[in-house]
Structure 1
Amino acid sequence: MPRRSERRRIRWSIRTKLVLWFAVVVVVTAAVSLVIGSRRIGDAIFAQAQGKVVHDLATARLVYRTTLDGIRSVIALTSERTLLSDVVYTGQWGDVQG
């Protein structure tokens, strides 16, 4: 009668060992590729999104500055028109001499 402490050793054929080790190598390689590929794709997506945000902010800044320049022009023209209309109504042309 065999002892309990004795383990029964399973005898694997060489073919079974090769298939198992090949499967282990394939699974480990696939897992490493999956992790590295996922990280690279994630980094690329993040970089692309960040570049788009920077581009959109630059566009918004350009639109803002253009609108601000237009407002400044309107204010300047309005103030000149007001000054000229005041001079015409009061007849004091001395204030306009440049």
Structure 2
Amino acid sequence: MTLTITVERSGPAIRAALAKHRPEEGAAFEAEFREALDRARDTFDLAPVEAVLDRWWGIAAIRANPLTDAEKEQVAGVGRGDVDGLLARDDQGNWIRM
């Protein structure tokens, strides 16, 4: 069983997760976040800051929880068209095995 690492949805937590796993992405996050803060300061609108957090939060969570070798093989298999054993929903919303 794999332990899932959660990343808090905050600037410091996202920055730390990105800096640990992909420093170049950490730098990109910092630049986007600072730009959004500058816009918020001028407009009193936090929407740009929230958008940056939304965008990078998911990326930080993915970086903190890289795919296992088995998951990488499954992704590669799908890329080759092999969907045997995968689950999908049918038109009624029921799970079906591919």
Q: TM-score, length-normalised on structure 1?
A: 0.26
Higher relative helix content: 1
- Is the radius of gyration larger for structure 1 or structure 2? 1
TM-score, scaled to structure 2: 0.26
